[in-house]
Amino acid sequence: MKKIWKLQNLALTSAILALSISLPSHGVNVPVKGTKMTAVEKQLGAPSRMIPPVGQPPITRWVYDDYIIYFEYEMVIHTVPSTLKTK
């Protein structure tokens, strides 16, 4: 059972690392982990789409043209490339 858990943990870690790639920022610095929502909005402006919080702890997504920012409560936890193209 421990072997299966370790393999699952390794797979999850690999998936997280794959999402933590460097993003093309098009001249804009993307927010880092721990940045507050208010600072993100001040830096980048309003997102094209705000997806309401889901789950516990509440996870909110802000969608921009090139990336999606994930928040836990009011703090950034991840910034990932967007596969959605809003035009």
> Which has the higher per-residue pLDDT, 26 or 10?
26
Question: Has residue 87 been placed in a domain?
Answer: no
CB 73 within 8 A of CB 35: no
Specify the pTM: 0.65
Domain coverage including residue 58: 2-81
Summarised one tens digit per residue, pLDDT across range 55-75 is 999 999 999 988 899 999 999
Q: How far lies 15's CA from each of 37, 67, 74, 76, in Å?
A: 25, 17, 24, 18
Residue 62 lies in a domain: yes
Instruction: Spell out the residues 6+ positions from residue 11 whose beta carbon is closer than 8 angstroms to its own.
Output: none
- Whether residue 13 is contained in a domain is answered as yes
Contacts of 21 (CB under 8 A, 6+ apart): 81
Q: Mean pLDDT, the chain, as a whole number?
A: 77
How many domains are contained in the chain?
1
